[in-house]
Amino acid sequence: MGRRRVMSPGAALWFILSEIWAIMLTLMAIATLFFAFTSMDTVAGVGIVVGMLVVGWFPFLVPLNYRKMRAAPFRKVFQEYVGVTSTGLFHADGTTGIAINDSRTALYLGSSNTLKKYSLSDVRDWQDQSNGLFCVRVKDLDNAAWHIVMSDPKTASRWVEILQQTVNER
């Protein structure tokens, strides 16, 4: 079945622009330090260099809530990949997701870097692991077990029943 890599364009752009910013300010800091040493005003030069380095590398030093940055784009990409319209057989939490298509013939599983489509006959078993994870095992050498985040226990119970009705009653 199809496999697709997922990368959030917003997260990639943020990383690239942050890196360019840091490299640019680092080069400016080196140039400032060079001119400070040649003019013998090293104390001011070192202060400016330290300030530029801190500002330049700030995007990498600040702990970002990376999961929140990626959760909304993942949900959108996963929903577009699945193409679910109105059945409500779709769940995405954080950077993982599970869905069943409208005709109830395929199961879609996704994580932050992989989206896969399986026929319902490829589903081996599933279980609510009671720790906020829902595990689905499928016939796949690369991704035999998928762990889907389900922070609400009712959602996990709902998916146990959805898979029971959809897979076992086929």
Could you report the per-residue pLDDT of 5-44, keeping only the tens digit for each?
A: 555 666 667 667 777 777 777 777 777 767 766 665 666 6
Instruction: Give yes or no for a contact between 128 and 152, defined as CB atoms under 8 angstroms apart.
Output: no
CA angle 121, 98, 13 (to 5 degrees): 130
For the chain, give the number of residues.
170
Residue-level pLDDT at 144: 93
For the stretch 69-122, pLDDT in tens is 555 678 888 888 888 765 668 998 888 999 998 777 899 999 888 899 999 999
Residue-level pLDDT at 99: 93
Q: Within 13 Å and on the Cβ side, how many CA atoms surround 56? A: 18
For the stretch 115-152, pLDDT in tens is 999 999 999 999 988 788 999 999 999 899 999 999 88
| pTM for this prediction | 0.59
- Radius of gyration (C-alpha) of the chain in whole angstroms: 24
What is the widest separation between alpha-carbon atoms in the chain? 82
CA 109 to chain centre: 14
CA 149 to chain centre: 12
